[in-house]
Structure 1
Amino acid sequence: MGATGTGKSHLSVDLATHFRGEIIDSDKMQVYKGLQIVTNKITHAKKQGVRHYILGEIEQDSDFTAEDFCLKSIVYIEKKLKTQCVPINVGGSNSYIEKLVEDPVFMFKYEYDSCFIWIDVEQSVLNHRVDTRVDEMVNAGKDQVNDERESSARRRTVPRSSTISPNNSKCEDAEGKSRKAMNQTKGRIAECIGAHN
């Protein structure tokens, strides 16, 4: 557990690799399908082959409650333990973990030995990580938009006689507006991440 940008995902993959574990995601937003960029879901490459559960499993229009999380989480924990695999719950949504551990209905603290790790990072380091993360998220979003734009352009055909002669001042103006929008987007994402903590 820990604030956004503290390195929970990276540590969980390291632990899972070392202790033959698999990860159960407990982030309230990352459980939903899609939303890779806005929730900054761990990428396929950063998973390093470690299996992740609940991550991106839930339909976006579903109301996935803390109780729903607990029910799913217990199923995965039981499956992992039967295969001698260490289940690792990771995420920043403490209400999910609190419900799992404290609610007597789930008997978690009576049934399972567990270890809790809270990652605390110096504020200046955290600020730098969040800035870097926001840049990565924005760039990933730009890449996704550019890929979609290219895909859309390939589907359209332009007659051979058509010519395009861009007006340089209009292009420069568009680039300036794009940079301004990018900076505003980064600021809004950074504010959201700060509010999420």
Structure 2
Amino acid sequence: MANENKPNNKLIRPRHLKKLGIPGMIVILLLFIGVTVYNDNFAGNDDENSSAETSSDNVVTVDQHIDGDTTRFNYQGDTHNFRYLIINTPEIGRDGDEDDPYAQEAFERTQELLDNAQEITVEFDEEKTDQYDRYLAYVYADGEMVNETLVREGLATVDYVHPPNDKYEDILRDAEEEAKQNQVGVWSE
């Protein structure tokens, strides 16, 4: 019974670690650290590459200018109409109707921004298309959001805000407030 109360001086280690010994545990630890660092580095690169692929997938070219807030773009091997999200430009007259005030200016400004751009990209919100099968997008000419530029210059108003497609509503409302204060475009009358 005296042996039962005697402290055990041996360290209790799992058998597999005991068999490896100190040098083996150091090798495993170094391998673990190396794999972790390797994965972290390449996971970061994969994220960057997938972001680049996503943005390059959204590069478009102009097929046809329709009006200030609609453009037909070449997109992923086909042509599609794109309606600019959260804005409305004055209507160009069709079938003999007169243009709304500033309709031609909005059309020409959109055309100018897009035709002078080195790169045009589109960004979708939650819903990619509308009931007319048009793509709904924020359009960028060399990184500048065309939707916002048109609103800020008084050539478009904030309109057709339909959640969940309202990601940039606040930015566009701020641009509209600025246009009103500066009394430009449709706000000059």
TM-score (ref. length: structure 2)? 0.26
Structure of greater Rg: 2
**Which structure: greater helix fraction?**
1
**Which structure: greater strand fraction?**
2
- Structure scoring higher RCO (CA < 8 A, sep ≥ 6) equals 1
TM-score (ref. length: structure 1)? 0.25
